[in-house]
Amino acid sequence: MLITDLINALFIIIILALLAVFMVLFLKSRTVSAEFRKDQDTTKYTIPSLIEHIKESINAITRTNLLELGLNEVEYKKQANKRAELKKALKNCMYGSIEDKQFVKAFIYDILSGYIPVDRLDSVIPFNNPFLLSVREKFFILLHEYKKRYGHDALAALIDENGLDRARKVSDSDDSISYVITSRDIEDLYDRISPGLANEDKLEIITQAVYEQYKGLGVIDEIRDMNIDGVSAGVSGVTDAAFYGPSLYNPLGQASKLPRSHESVWIFFRGKTIKLDFLGFEDEKELRRVCQNIYRYNRGGQLSEATGYRVNEMKDGSRVLVVRPPFSESWAFFVRKFHIRNVTLEGLITDKGAELPVNLIKYLVKGCMITAITGQQGSGKTTLLMAMVRHIYSTLTLRVQETAFELHLRKLYPERNILTFCETDSISGQEGLDIQKKTDGSVNILGEVATDPVAAWMVQMSQVASLFTLFTHHAKTTRDLVYSLRNSLLKCEMFTNEKIAEQQVVSVLDFDIHLARDFRGKRYIERITEIIETPAQESYPQAFRESQAQDEKLAGFMETTAEFYARMTDRMSFETRNIIEYRDGEYHAVTPISREKVHRMMDAMSREDAKAFCGFLERNWGLAG
Last residue of some domain: 336, 363, 380?
336
Per-residue pLDDT for 36 more than 50? Answer: no
- How many angstroms separate the CA atoms of 417 and 395, rounded? 8
Per-residue pLDDT for 251 more than 60? Answer: no
Last residue of some domain: 301, 336, 371?
336
Rounded (5°) CA angle 160-525-391: 100
Task: Give the confidence band of 158 by pLDDT, cuts at 50, 70, 90.
Answer: very high
Q: When comparing pLDDT for 368 and 534, which is higher?
A: 368
Residue 5 lies in a domain: no
- Bridge partners, residue 319, by sequence: 313, 336
What is the span of the domain harbouring residue 492? 352-534+573-621
As a whole number, mean pLDDT of residues 344-353 equals 89
As a whole number, mean pLDDT of residues 428-451 equals 78
Residue 276 lies in a domain: yes
* Residues 190, 266 within the same domain: yes
- How many angstroms separate the CA atoms of 385 and 412, rounded? 12
Write down the pLDDT at residue 503. Answer: 83
Burial of 306 (0-12, 13-18, 19+ CB in 10 A): exposed
* Residues 414, 265 within the same domain: no
Task: Give the confidence band of 448 by pLDDT, cuts at 50, 70, 90.
Answer: confident
* Residues 524, 398 within the same domain: yes
From 461, 474, 376, select the one nearest 421 (Cα to Cα).
Answer: 461
* Residues 330, 389 within the same domain: no
Task: Give the confidence band of 421 by pLDDT, cuts at 50, 70, 90.
Answer: confident
Task: Give the confidence band of 79 by pLDDT, cuts at 50, 70, 90.
Answer: confident
Write down the pLDDT at residue 73. Answer: 80
- Bridge partners, residue 575, by sequence: 532
Return the minimum-mean-pLDDT range out of 1-15, 178-192, 292-306: 1-15
Chain segment 531-586, per-residue pLDDT in tens: 998 765 566 566 656 666 666 667 776 777 776 666 666 566 788 999 999 998 89
3-state SS, 338-370, equals CCCCCCCHHHHCCCECCHHHHHHHHHHHHCCCC
* Residues 330, 412 within the same domain: no
* Residues 557, 496 within the same domain: no
Write down the pLDDT at residue 212. Answer: 93
Q: What is the dihedral of CA 443, 299, 331, 96, to 10 degrees?
A: 70
CATH of the domain at 317: 3.30.450.90
From 86, 79, 124, select the one nearest 105 (Cα to Cα).
Answer: 86
Kindly give the pairing relationship between strand 371-374 and strand 468-473. Answer: parallel
Close Cβ partners of 365 (under 8 Å, ≥ 6 residues apart): 371, 388, 389, 391, 392, 470
Q: How many domains does the chain have?
A: 3
Judge contact between 368 and 604, C-beta under 8 A: yes
* Residues 313, 368 within the same domain: no
Write down the pLDDT at residue 426. Answer: 76
Residue 119 lies in a domain: no
Write down the pLDDT at residue 249. Answer: 47
Residue 460 lies in a domain: yes
* Residues 373, 390 within the same domain: yes
Residue 61 lies in a domain: no
Burial of 100 (0-12, 13-18, 19+ CB in 10 A): buried
pTM of the model: 0.74
Per-residue pLDDT for 475 more than 60? Answer: yes
Return the beta strands (E) in 162-214 as ranges. Answer: 167-169, 177-181
CATH of the domain at 405: 3.40.50.300
Q: What kind and span of H or E run contains 90?
A: helix 73-92
Write down the pLDDT at residue 339. Answer: 63
Residue 578 lies in a domain: yes
- Bridge partners, residue 231, by sequence: 267, 335
* Residues 295, 305 within the same domain: yes
Q: When comparing pLDDT for 171 and 512, which is higher?
A: 512
Task: Give the confidence band of 32 by pLDDT, cuts at 50, 70, 90.
Answer: very low
Write down the pLDDT at residue 342. Answer: 67
From 375, 179, 361, select the one nearest 270 (Cα to Cα).
Answer: 179
As a whole number, mean pLDDT of residues 249-277 equals 77
Write down the pLDDT at residue 157. Answer: 93
Judge contact between 509 and 531, C-beta under 8 A: yes
Return the minimum-mean-pLDDT range out of 250-254, 397-401, 481-485, 564-568: 250-254
Residue 589 lies in a domain: yes
* Residues 229, 374 within the same domain: no
- How many angstroms separate the CA atoms of 445 and 409, rounded? 11
Phi, psi (deg, nearest 5) at residue 135: -60, -40
Write down the pLDDT at residue 34. Answer: 43
Measure CA 326 to chain center.
23
* Residues 567, 577 within the same domain: no
- How many angstroms separate the CA atoms of 530 and 371, rounded? 9
Residue 144 lies in a domain: yes
Mean pLDDT of the chain: 83
* Residues 523, 545 within the same domain: no
As a whole number, mean pLDDT of residues 605-616 equals 93
As a whole number, mean pLDDT of residues 441-468 equals 78
